[in-house]
Structure 1
Amino acid sequence: MPILKSAKKALRQTKRRTAANKAKIKLLKEEIKKFKKRGNLDLLPKIYSMVDKMVKVHIFHKNKGKRLKSQLAIFAKAKAAKEKQKEKKQHS
């Protein structure tokens, strides 16, 4: 347990910040799940924005942010190609 007054304050701050960061991460994960389930490309800019904000405030390392965005872009591209192919089959 912390003994010094400043250490006690630091502990309180850390707990509060950790809780806030975990809530933001959980929200992001939920948005990513929605995006992958629905395949709605309109959610992509919102998710990108969330990731960029988390990188900016050091919740994520910049490389993790880039990796997440890259994986989402790959998923979106595959989903778009699949829809295009499905559309093409219907017209044939």
Structure 2
Amino acid sequence: MANTNSAKKMVRKIARRTAVNKARRSRVRTFVKKVELAIESGDQAAAKTALVQAESELMRAVSNGVVHKNTGSRKVSRLSARVKAMAS
């Protein structure tokens, strides 16, 4: 358990930051799920619009440090490949 005042403060700060990051990560997952549902339903127009929103949300998470840059890029790449594959 934290003994010093600075350690106690760090515990509080980490708890706040964890809550914020958890919400941001959840938001990203929601947008990614919308793209996946649109792909499954076969609606290409909806999938493209959902992809644009998901890409924006993923890159925002990257800039906030919630997701690593390469992870965000990988997820966007794989989603866009799946949306592109719908055309054929």
| TM-score range relative to shorter protein | 0.7 to 0.9
Distance in 1 of aligned mates of 2:54 and 2:34: 10
Which residue is 1:66 aligned to?
Answer: 73
RMSD: 1.2
Letter in 2 for 1:50: E
- 1:4 maps to which residue? 4
Counterpart of 2:67, as a letter, is F
TM-score computed with the length of structure 2 as normaliser:
0.83
Paired-residue identity, %: 35
Alignment partner of 1:47 is 2:38 = no
SS at match of 2:3: coil
**Structure with greater contact order relative to length (CA < 8 Å, sep ≥ 6):** 2
Structure 2 equivalent of residue 76 of structure 1: 83
Specify the code of the residue in structure 2 equivalent to 1:60: V
Gapped runs of 5+ residues in structure 2?
Answer: 40-45
C-alpha distance in structure 1 between counterparts of 2:34 and 2:64, whole Å: 24
Q: 2:69, 2:36 → 1: CA distance?
A: 22
Q: TM-score, normalised by structure 1?
A: 0.80
Count of residue pairs brought into register by the alignment: 81
Structure (1 or 2) with the larger CA radius of gyration: 1
